[in-house]
A and B are shown apart, each in its own frame.
Chain A
Amino acid sequence: QKEVEQDPGPLSVPEGAIVSLNCTYSNSAFQYFMWYRQYSRKGPELLMYTYSSGNKEDGRFTAQVDKSSKYISLFIRDSQPSDSATYLCAMSPGGSNYKLTFGKGTLLTVNP
């Protein structure tokens, strides 16, 4: 079993739809959870950063972490064509270990 599982998609939705992206993980040591958006030929852009369990909202984005289920989610409301990109979940243990473990990434296309 991989440490972090993420459905690679591709996922195609109409403009304005609510998008749900998910990752599961097996390592209970993970404390920090991040979502990134990566456009082709660009570096990953940090969208959401969450420590431990809970919800966090930033504009059209909501991140949820359920440590008891080892499950994290990213919701995108009112999706736009500009949201078309690959979305990566990433996580790391606490303390001084900053090394990230990534999911494979989900390719999202938002159709106008």
Chain B
Amino acid sequence: GAVVSQHPSRVICKSGTSVKIECRSLDFQATTMFWYRQFPKKSLMLMATSNEGSKATYEQGVEKDKFLINHASLTLSTLTVTSAHPEDSSFYICSARARYGTLFGPGTRLTVL
């Protein structure tokens, strides 16, 4: 059945490095994917809308040069956190609209030391 996967599930990196997170739609195609950030015990915060073959649309206050999004195919979107800092540590989740509702990935926990 339709599933959204994310990789990696957890990543620890040093401050100043870049980290790439992959989001894949399995058994369906997604022209639009969404990237969220979530802090402990807080709501999902939409960061950006990823559109296949075009530029992502970022929410107000989200630095597009900091969070690079590439949606190169109908089943893959990537989020790259560039020059990561400790304040970028968070839980990142992607989603995609399937035929019967929007599905979310399992999330990626990023820790920046």
A residues near B, CB below 8 A?
A: 32, 34, 36, 41-46, 49, 88, 90, 92, 96, 98-100, 102, 104-105
Contact = CB atoms under 8 A, between A and B. Distances in A.
Most A-side CB within 10 Å, residue of B95, B100, B102: B102
B44 A102 contact: yes
Interface size class of B (residues with CB under 8 A): 20 to 34
B53 to A, nearest CB: 15
B107 A92 contact: no
Given A41-B91, A41-B109, A98-B97, A34 B102 contact: yes
Given A98-B32, A99-B49, A49 B101 contact: yes
B109 A43 contact: no
B106 interface: yes
Interface of B: 4, 6, 32, 34, 43-44, 46, 49, 91, 93, 95, 97, 100-107, 109
Most B-side CB within 10 Å, residue of A34, A92, A99: A99
A36 B101 CA distance: 10
The 3 closest A-B pairs by CB, nearest first: A49-B101, A43-B104, A98-B97
Contact of B102 (A98, A104, A105): A98
A36 B49 contact: no
A43 B93 contact: yes
Nearest to B97: A98
Contacts of B105: 43
Contacts of B6: 43
B43 A104 contact: yes
Most A-side CB within 10 Å, residue of B44, B91, B101, B109: B101
30 contacts: A32-B101, A34-B101, A36-B104, A41-B91, A41-B109, A43-B4, A43-B6, A43-B93, A43-B104, A43-B106, A43-B107, A44-B44, A44-B93, A45-B104, A46-B101, A46-B103, A88-B44, A92-B102, A96-B32, A98-B34, A98-B102, A99-B34, A99-B46, A100-B34, A100-B46, A100-B95, A100-B102, A102-B43, A104-B43, A105-B43
